[in-house]
Structure 1
Amino acid sequence: MSSEIEQKDVNIGSAATENGVDTPKKKLRYVDIGINLGDPVFRGKYHGKQAHTDDFSDVLQRARDAGCQKLMVTGSDLKESIHAVQIAEQHPGLCYATVGVHPCSAKHFDSYLGGPAAMLASLKDVAVMGKESGHAVAFGEIGLDYDRLFLTGKEQQLKYFEAQLDLAVEIQLPLFLHSRAASEDFERLLGARLPKLPKRGLVHSFTGTMEEMKRMVDLGLDVGVNGCSMKTEENIEVVKEIPLGRLQIETDGPWCEMRPSHVSAKYLSDAPPLLKAVKKEKWAAGMMVKGRNEPATISHVAHAIAKIKGIPVEEVTEAAWRNSVEMFGLGESSP
Structure 2
Amino acid sequence: MKAKKFIDIGANLTDSMFKGVYNGKKYHDIDLDSVIKKSFEFGLTKIFVTGGSLDECKESVDLVKNYENLYTTVGCHPTRCLEFEQKYTDSQKYFNYLSELIKDNKDKIIAIGEYGLDYDRLNFCRKDIQIKYFEMQFELARIHQLPSFLHSRNCHSDFIEILKKNIDVIDKFGAVVHSFTGTPEEAEELLKLSPKIYIGINGCSLKTSDNLKTVAQIPPNRILIETDSPWCEIKSTHASHQYIKTHFKSKKRDKMNPCKMNTKDKNSNENSLIKGRNEPCTLVQVLEVLEAIFSSSSQPPDDLAEIIYQNTLKLFFPS
Same fold (TM over 0.5): yes
Q: Secondary structure at the match of 1:90?
A: coil
Q: Which residue of 2 aligns with 1:256?
A: 232
Deviations 1:77-108 (A, max 9, x none): 1111111111111112x100000000001111
Select 2:17's aligned residue among 41, 44, 65. Answer: 41
Q: 1:325, 1:103 → 2: CA distance?
A: 26
- 1:303·1:313 contact (CA, 8 Å) conserved in 2? no
The residue identity in structure 2 corresponding to 1:204 is H
Deviations 1:56-84 (A, max 9, x none): 11101110111011000000111111111
The range that moved more, 193-202 or 241-250, is 193-202
Q: Which residue of 1 aligns with 2:257?
A: none
Q: 2:93, 2:141 → 1: CA distance?
A: 16
1:314 to partner: Cα distance? 7.1
Q: 1:304, 1:71 → 2: CA distance?
A: 20
Please give the residue correspondences for 1:228-239 in structure 2 after superposition, counting only pairs within 5 Å: 228-239=204-215
Q: 2:113, 2:219 → 1: CA distance?
A: 23
Q: 2:161, 2:31 → 1: CA distance?
A: 43
Q: 1:48, 1:313 → 2: CA distance?
A: 45
Q: Secondary structure at the match of 1:280?
A: coil
The reply to whether residue 162 of structure 1 matches residue 135 of structure 2 is yes
- TM-score norm. by structure 1 comes to 0.86
The reply to whether residue 174 of structure 1 matches residue 147 of structure 2 is yes
Q: Secondary structure at the match of 1:81?
A: helix
Q: 1:66 to 1:163 in 2, by over 3 A?
A: same
Q: 1:30, 1:106 → 2: CA distance?
A: 32
Any gaps of 5 or more consecutive residues in structure 2? 255-260, 263-267
1:113 to partner: Cα distance? 1.7
1:32 to partner: Cα distance? 0.3
Q: 1:265, 1:196 → 2: CA distance?
A: 37
1:285 to partner: Cα distance? 5.3
Please give the residue correspondences for 1:199-210 in structure 2 after superposition, counting only pairs within 5 Å: 199-210=173-184
Q: Secondary structure at the match of 2:149?
A: strand
Select 1:140's aligned residue among 97, 105, 113. Answer: 113
- 1:100·1:123 contact (CA, 8 Å) conserved in 2? yes
Runs of 4 or more above 6 Å deviation: 311-314
Q: Which residue of 2 aligns with 1:77?
A: 53
The reply to whether residue 243 of structure 1 matches residue 228 of structure 2 is no
Q: Which residue of 1 aligns with 2:313?
A: 325
Any gaps of 5 or more consecutive residues in structure 1? 1-24
Deviations 1:263-305 (A, max 9, x none): 001222xx2232x211222445523201100011111100001
1:47 to partner: Cα distance? 2.6
The reply to whether residue 186 of structure 1 matches residue 129 of structure 2 is no
Q: Secondary structure at the match of 1:251?
A: coil
Q: Secondary structure at the match of 1:138?
A: strand
The reply to whether residue 213 of structure 1 matches residue 187 of structure 2 is yes
1:316 to partner: Cα distance? 2.1
CA RMSD, aligned part only? 1.6
Q: 2:232, 2:302 → 1: CA distance?
A: 23
Q: 1:32, 1:313 → 2: CA distance?
A: 21
1:199 to partner: Cα distance? 2.5
The range that moved more, 284-293 or 226-235, is 284-293
Q: 1:234, 1:252 → 2: CA distance?
A: 21
Q: 1:124 to 1:152 in 2, by over 3 A?
A: same
Paired residues, what number?
Answer: 301
Q: Which residue of 1 aligns with 2:293?
A: 308
1:51 to partner: Cα distance? 0.2
- 1:28·1:314 contact (CA, 8 Å) conserved in 2? no
% of aligned pairs identical? Answer: 37
